[in-house]
């Protein structure tokens, strides 16, 4: 049976990069067959209809699809009555508990001084400060406002994210073994770095740290070949900028993971090349890390690479790893060549020209 995949371009350049990724998926030779279904969501849809995420989109994804590709949504920074972000809601409805973000450098004449790195950030996707339990009151002592936020760390969610990290460390090792040694960036034993701040927050981050550590300690046969190290979140940022090549898999609570991964994107040239996947046990949703880019939307110059790589992640997590690798290699070849790049990477090419170049290398 074909893979049924929901396509949710949503707003802005989502409408340019999702069709681009779809074209690449459809062009895989001997690849899986696809049955794409186009679904609505987003801020523009909200302005037309009063809802940002129609029930039919949720139901179709839940009941009919194995996976989805999401573009980007133009969430306003001010509060709009009745509106809340559809991407946050989808992660919850589909129980997509880990956000998987590979960030890797590709040698290219377009960015000669780039650092060498190949890391995979796993961000817990359901809790931490993002449960949005906030309140404001007046402090009786001063008569001034004071605001609080609850932070949730559960053993359940921490264990799921930690298990994903150790499994991905093993998977990455297997994939590296298929490459010639000189082409591998990571040359050590697989490694999981646990990010936390349990020197200060010993209850919440302490539970996170202990739970993720226990994933390895309780499964010595399975994960004995994976090194485990810890890094406090502040020194994590410092080390990541100084020596990003020192990291393989990095696993972090939601907020730290969000911040670290945007920082990592800065090390590889553009937000326009960094993909992600929201992964659950029964569903996966590819999603470029970037937003709807209103400054360039409609001009035909958005970089489709993040979306194409996100489509690769989708295939990888649906078990079609060899086809995903073909897509990554085709994208890497375009970057390495450096003559057909969109303006965010210093080039002069259009979205379509980059897609054509990727298809030529497939
Ligand atoms: P953004 O990622 O949309 O844009 C930041 C900068 O990067 C802009 O200069 C943009 O032109 C450039 N850029 C991003 N993706 C690009 C691509 N594929 N090709 C070429 N250039 C690219 O972030 P910004 O401007 O902070 O937010 C714009 C809107 O996107 C906001 O409404 C925000 O809420 C939303 N957003 C949505 C996200 C999502 O759907 N998951 C994530 C981040 C932001
Ligand atoms: Mg972010």
The finding on whether 139 has its CB within 6 A of some atom of ligand 1 is no
The string of DSSP letters for 122-184 reads EEE-S-BGGG--EEEEE-TTTSSEEEEE--B--HHHHHHHHHHHHHHHHHHHHHHTTS-GGG-
DSSP state, residue 188: S
In the predicted model, is pLDDT for residue 106 greater than 90?
no
Residue 181's pLDDT is 67
In the predicted model, is pLDDT for residue 14 greater than 80?
yes
Q: Which of 43, 272, 293, 307 to mutate to test the pocket of ligand 1 (most atoms within 8 A of CB)?
A: 293
CA 126/CA 258 separation, integer angstroms: 12
The finding on whether 269 has its CB within 6 A of some atom of ligand 1 is no
CA 173/CA 187 separation, integer angstroms: 10
In the predicted model, is pLDDT for residue 84 greater than 90?
no
pLDDT one-digit tens code per residue, 163-207: 999 999 999 999 888 876 666 778 889 999 999 999 999 999 999
> Which residues, 6 or more positions from 4, have their beta carbon under 8 angstroms from its beta carbon?
34, 35, 37, 64, 65, 66
pLDDT one-digit tens code per residue, 218-270: 999 999 999 999 999 999 999 999 999 999 999 999 999 999 988 898 888 78
CA atoms within 13 A on the CB side of 286: 32
- Residue for token pair 């958005």: 302
Domain 115-267 has CATH 3.40.718.10: yes
The finding on whether 232 has its CB within 6 A of some atom of ligand 1 is no
The finding on whether 73 has its CB within 6 A of some atom of ligand 1 is yes
**Relative to the alpha carbon of 17, which ligand is closest?**
1
In the predicted model, is pLDDT for residue 1 greater than 90?
no
Q: Which of 42, 130, 292 to mutate to test the pocket of ligand 1 (most atoms within 8 A of CB)?
A: 292
Provide the token pair at 155.
């053993």
ipTM (interface pTM): 0.97
Decide the pairing of beta strands 284-286 and 67-72.
parallel
**Relative to the alpha carbon of 123, which ligand is closest?**
2
**Relative to the alpha carbon of 87, which ligand is closest?**
1
Residue 248's pLDDT is 96
Interval 20-43 mean pLDDT: 96
Interval 45-65 mean pLDDT: 97
Ligand 1 atom nearest to CA at 303: 19
Give the chain's mean pLDDT: 94
Q: Which of 271, 298, 302 to mutate to test the pocket of ligand 1 (most atoms within 8 A of CB)?
A: 271
Q: Which position has the higher pLDDT, 176 or 151?
A: 151
Superfamily of domain 1-99+270-362: Isopropylmalate Dehydrogenase (3.40.718.10)
**Domain(s) of CATH 3.40.718.10: residues in the chain:** 1-99+270-362, 115-267
**Relative to the alpha carbon of 291, which ligand is closest?**
1
Interval 40-49 mean pLDDT: 97
Ligand 1 atom nearest to CA at 295: 11
SS3 194: strand
User: Which has the closest alpha carbon to 304: 23, 3, 11, 7?
Assistant: 23
Please name the residue whose Cα sits nearest to atom 31 of ligand 1: 74
In the predicted model, is pLDDT for residue 88 greater than 90?
no
Percent of the chain with pLDDT over 90: 84
Burial of 302 (0-12, 13-18, 19+ CB in 10 A): buried
The finding on whether 88 has its CB within 6 A of some atom of ligand 1 is no
pTM, to two decimals: 0.93
């Amino acid at each position: 049976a074909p893979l049924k995949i929901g396509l949710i371009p949503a707003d802005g350049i989502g409408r340019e990069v999702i069709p681009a990724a779809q074209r690449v998926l459809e062009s895989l030779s001997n690849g899986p067959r696809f049955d794409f279904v186009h679904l609505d969501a987003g801020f523009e849809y909200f302005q037309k209809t009063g809802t940002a995420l129609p029930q039919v989109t949720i139901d179709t994804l839940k009941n009919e699809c194995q996976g989805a590709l999401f573009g980007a949504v133009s969430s306003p920074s001010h509060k709009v009555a009745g509106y809340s972000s559809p991407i946050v809601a989808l992660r919850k409805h589909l129980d997509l508990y880990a956000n998987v973000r590979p960030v890797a450098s590709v040698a290219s004449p377009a960015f000669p001084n780039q650092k060498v790195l190949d890391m995979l950030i796993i961000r817990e996707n359901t809790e931490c400060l993002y449960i949005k339990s906030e309140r404001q009151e007046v402090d009786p002592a001063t008569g001034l406002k004071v605001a609080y936020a609850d932070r949730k760390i559960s053993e359940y969610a921490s264990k799921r994210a930690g298990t994903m990290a150790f499994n991905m460390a093993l998977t990455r090792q297997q994939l590296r073994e298929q490459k010639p040694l000189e082409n591998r960036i990571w040359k050590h034993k697989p490694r999981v770095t646990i990010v936390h701040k349990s020197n200060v927050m010993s209850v919440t981050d302490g539970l996170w740290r202990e739970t993720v550590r226990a994933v390895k300690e309780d499964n010595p046969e399975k994960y004995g070949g994976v090194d485990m190290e810890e890094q406090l979140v502040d020194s994590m940022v410092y080390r990541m900028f100084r020596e990003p090549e020192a990291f393989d898999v990095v696993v972090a609570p939601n907020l730290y993971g969000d911040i670290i991964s945007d920082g990592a994107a800065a090390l590889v040239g553009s937000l326009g090349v960094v993909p992600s996947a929201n992964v659950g046990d029964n569903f996966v949703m590819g999603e470029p890390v970037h937003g709807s880019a209103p400054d360039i939307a409609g001009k035909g110059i958005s970089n489709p690479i993040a979306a194409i790589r996100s489509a690769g992640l989708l295939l990888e997590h649906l078990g079609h790893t060899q086809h995903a690798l073909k897509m990554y290699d085709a994208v890497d070849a375009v970057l390495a060549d450096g003559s057909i790049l969109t303006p965010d990477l210093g080039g002069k090419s259009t979205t379509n020209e980059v897609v054509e170049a990727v298809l030529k290398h497939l």
